[in-house]
Each structure stands twice: as C-alpha cells, then as structure tokens.
Amino acid sequence: MTQKEITRLRVINQTIDKVLTIREAAELLNLSERQVIRLKGGVLQEGAAFIIHKNRGRKPKHTVPDKTRDSIIELKQSKYEEANFNHYQELLEKHEAIQVSYSTVHRILIQAGIKSPKSHRKRKVHHRRKRKPQKGMLVQIDASPHEWIIGEDSFDLHGAIDDATGEILALYFTPNECMEGYFEIVRQVVTNHGIPTSLYCDRHTIFVSPNDGKLSVEDQLDGKVVNLTQFGRAMEELGINVIKASSPQAKGRIERLWGTLQSRLPVEFKIHGITTMEAANAFLAVFIDEYNKKFGVEPEDSKLAFRALASSINLDHILCIKEERTIIEGSAFSYQGQYYQLIKNGKKAAAMPKAKLTVLNSSRIGIKAIYADIVYDTKALAERPKKTVAGSSKSQGREQGHKRVSPANDHPWRQSPDKKPTLSYAETDTEIIEMLNDLFSSTRAWA
C-alpha cells in the first residue's frame, strides 16, 4: 500500500468512526463527496484492501507483448540499424507486420539504451517564407553528395521539389554534381508535370556565369552583356525564369529534403538489395510516389501553374550543349578535336562551304547539328576532308551536278600546232609601216 493509499484509508476510517463528516473528508482528500461515500462503503464491506487499486500488479490490456518488444529491439540492432525512429516505425508496419505507434517504439528503444542515429539539434527560430499558392509556380533544385549506398563511395543526388506542396518532382543520381544531372531532373519535371514558371537555385557556375555582376558601368553602356550558361540558355528556350538564391537558408525546403532523404534512402536501398547507382535511379520513381503520399500537402490554389510542352518542341534538342561551328570542305566540321560529316537521310549532305551551324551534344542524342532549322546526323571522320582545287571545271561540274562538255571539232584547241587559225583582223607588215609613216608626217606638219 502506498503512502497516498494509507492516508486515504485513515481519513475514511475517521468518517466511519464519525470523527469527520463526509464533506470534511472530501475536502481533505480532494475528492468529491460521492467518491468518499463509495470508499467508505467499500471499506465497510471488503476492508482496507478496497483502497488498493484493482489493477495493481496487472499488465494493461494495451501493453506491448514481451515477444513483440524483443523483436522491436532485435530488428533495430540488426536489420534496421541505420533507420531513425520515425522511419523505423514505418518499416516495422510495412515489412514486419508490427503495428505500434511512434511513441511506443521510441519508449521501447530508449528504455533499451538505443539512441536514434539522426541527431536533433536545438531548433533555431527562422522566419519561413510563405509557400507559393499554386503547384508549379516555383520549383527548387539542388544536388547533395552523400554515401547513399551504405559501404560504397559517395555520389550526388540531383533533386527538384515543388514549393507549394513540398512534393518531390524529380530525383537523379550522377557520380558528381553536373549539368547532365540538372538537365535530367528538368526533363523529368517537364515530362511528368509540365513546364514550371520559375526555378530556384544556388549560384553554382552551372546556373550562373562567373562574370555575372562583374561588368563595369562603361561595359554596360557599351552594350556588353554576360553570356548565359548552357543551363541558362536551355531554360530561356523553355521560357522558365531562373531565380538565384544568395544563401542555403533561402532555399530551405530542398535543404531540409536532403536531411530526410539522407536518413531514409540508404536504409531503403539496403532493404531492397540495391548496390549500384543505376539500380538506385530505377528505384527512385517508386520512392517518390510513397514520399509524396506521406509528406505532400495541398496547395492554397488547386489550379496548376505548369504549362504543357508544345508537340513541335523536341526536348532533346534543348536540354543539351549547343556550340557554334563553321562548315569546312565536304560538308564537314571540327568539334572537340574530331572531324564530323553531316548526314541527311543516311547520305552525305550537300556542300555548304563556310556556313555557320549549331552543334548539339548530349549523352542521349550524341552529336547532331542544326543548319537552316534542319537537324543533321553526324558521322565521325578519320581525318580532315581534302580541299578541292579552286576553279577546276571537273570539281565544279561534279559539285554543281553539270555534265562534262567536249569542245567541237573545229574548235581552235583541236587545231594542230603548226596550223594557225586565220584571223580576220590581222594586218601585214607593209601596211603597218605605211600607217606609222603617215602618222609621223602629220605630226611634223602640225608642229
């Protein structure tokens, strides 16, 4: 019997002995008069044991069985060692058919001396920017290096998150943070959702030229501008506004996303036996759907801000590297130390000497070229094409498609060397001497 129960029994006995009234006993025990009457009647019938709570020594009906408790501890120390407590509770329900609340899991593991691998720092108060009202109005993009596959080298995860809903729009792994990774997540966003209004990114040189903001006033007055990066050029062609953040805190939604993914994805890869970057990329689509169902929120305005991609636009011809080159002999051009031949419909393209063209280069389409809004395939050449002789009738005729013409039989070129053609305007030597004498005489008379 506890001290509280001993005090309660003593007061009840005083009411039985009529030392205290029911009202006085209720005030002393901080109970209602009805409760004092119930306790008094119980002690009279059953004795002092009535004061003791009937559940003393019993396990509650909702208590976790010892077997389940032991399984939770054992699985956390072996199969799900890297999972944080919240993620672990979800994994127990999904893979082990153990349905317990997060607080129960937390209590069992803490009592067993197990700490969460995800450290919690003291929260700092920050003013959070209000979410955009429509989905697709603002998309935050970034990349994060991490040991995504446990025990393997780290590589980078490129991602895009919608500002209005907090949903993941695209994820893609590459060995390092690169333009190809960002092109791929833009491709996923445009293909699966549409063209967003704006992209929010940091000031990495993939997005911003190193010369951005460094032009002097004189240069600006002269009309000089900073060239766009390849990524900036592609976004301009798609009509997407690129907004540059000045600090990581400015794009806090995607920064917080990395903390969640760094805690969850390695565990998911371990459970599904994923050990390569290619297999991880294939798994991401399933993970994105599950993540968005759990963490996505409804936007303030249900109308979408995404625009549909026009059917006439080939996304592969925009999300690539574009560079200008000049055509040389034989409808060829030089690019990255290699000569390429323009190919149209499987055949060599017609000659276009010294014309400017645009080279398209990406891992998806290889190397192509655009001239006069026509896309050409290319073929690598072993060496530079040979120059043709300028003014050669043979070369000109072949390039222009003219037939070879032979001179007539009476043409001067066909005459024998000892036979000279008679010219109608040729004079004799005597006539020439007479003409000179007449001219000399006229000059002396005039003088």
Query: 241 and 200 in contact (C-beta within 8 Å)?
Result: no
The answer to whether residue 100 sits within a structural domain is yes
The answer to whether residue 415 sits within a structural domain is no
More confident residue, 319 or 48: 319
Return the minimum-mean-pLDDT range out of 64-73, 145-154, 354-363, 367-376: 64-73
Residue 251 CA, chain-centre distance (Å), reads 15
Q: What is the mean pLDDT of residues 394-405?
A: 55
Q: What is the mean pLDDT of residues 5-19?
A: 88
How much is the pLDDT for 412? Answer: 65
| Claim to verify: residue 331 and residue 289 sit in the same structural domain | no
Structural domains in the chain (count)? 4
Q: What is the mean pLDDT of residues 402-416?
A: 66
**Measured at the alpha carbon of residue 289, what is the angle toward residues 287 and 294, in degrees to the nearest 5?**
95
More confident residue, 225 or 8: 8
The answer to whether residue 324 sits within a structural domain is yes
| Claim to verify: residue 362 and residue 337 sit in the same structural domain | yes
Determine how β-strand 356-362 pairs with β-strand 168-174.
unpaired
More confident residue, 222 or 299: 299
The answer to whether residue 301 sits within a structural domain is no
| Claim to verify: residue 256 and residue 366 sit in the same structural domain | no
How much is the pLDDT for 280? Answer: 95
Q: Is the pLDDT of residue 123 over 90?
A: no
How much is the pLDDT for 5? Answer: 82
| Claim to verify: residue 186 and residue 260 sit in the same structural domain | yes
Amino acid sitting at position 76: K
Output phi, psi for 328, to 5 deg: -110, -155
- The CA distance from 139 to 159, in Å, is 10
| Claim to verify: residue 267 and residue 143 sit in the same structural domain | yes
Residue with tokens 């209720």: 26
How much is the pLDDT for 84? Answer: 86
Return the minimum-mean-pLDDT range out of 30-44, 140-154, 243-257, 371-385: 243-257
Q: Is the pLDDT of residue 425 over 60?
A: no
Among 365, 381, 397, which residue terminates a domain?
381
Residue with tokens 């596959």: 149
Question: What pTM value is reported for the model?
Answer: 0.69
pLDDT category of residue 120 using cuts at 50, 70 and 90: low
How much is the pLDDT for 393? Answer: 47
Mean predicted lDDT score pLDDT of the chain: 84
pLDDT category of residue 124 using cuts at 50, 70 and 90: low
How much is the pLDDT for 414? Answer: 66
pLDDT digits (tens, 9 = 90+) for 356-371: 999 999 999 999 999 9
Q: Is the pLDDT of residue 318 over 90?
A: yes
Query: 186 and 229 in contact (C-beta within 8 Å)?
Result: no
Return the minimum-mean-pLDDT range out of 43-57, 104-118, 390-404: 390-404
| Claim to verify: residue 29 and residue 170 sit in the same structural domain | no
| Claim to verify: residue 79 and residue 148 sit in the same structural domain | no
Q: What is the CA radius of gyration of the chain?
A: 44
| Claim to verify: residue 182 and residue 145 sit in the same structural domain | yes
The answer to whether residue 99 sits within a structural domain is yes
- The CA distance from 384 to 236, in Å, is 35
| Claim to verify: residue 325 and residue 374 sit in the same structural domain | yes
Q: What is the mean pLDDT of residues 285-314?
A: 94
Query: 179 and 206 in contact (C-beta within 8 Å)?
Result: yes
The answer to whether residue 132 sits within a structural domain is no
| Claim to verify: residue 80 and residue 167 sit in the same structural domain | no
| Claim to verify: residue 150 and residue 28 sit in the same structural domain | no
- The CA distance from 384 to 392, in Å, is 21
Q: Is the pLDDT of residue 89 over 70?
A: yes
The answer to whether residue 61 sits within a structural domain is no
The residue segments making up the domain with residue 24 are: 3-51
How much is the pLDDT for 390? Answer: 53
- The CA distance from 64 to 70, in Å, is 10
| Claim to verify: residue 34 and residue 180 sit in the same structural domain | no
pLDDT category of residue 433 using cuts at 50, 70 and 90: low
How much is the pLDDT for 370? Answer: 93
Determine how β-strand 366-371 pairs with β-strand 374-381.
antiparallel
Find all residues with CB under 8 Å of 154, minimum gap 6, and list them: 145, 146, 147, 148
How much is the pLDDT for 178? Answer: 94
Query: 174 and 185 in contact (C-beta within 8 Å)?
Result: no
The answer to whether residue 150 sits within a structural domain is yes
- CB-based contacts of 183-189 (< 8 A; 24+ apart in sequence): 183/231, 183/234, 183/319, 183/320, 183/362, 184/158, 185/141, 185/158, 185/159, 185/160, 186/141, 186/160, 186/234, 186/235, 186/238, 186/319, 187/315, 187/319, 188/160, 189/139, 189/160
Q: What is the mean pLDDT of residues 390-399?
A: 50
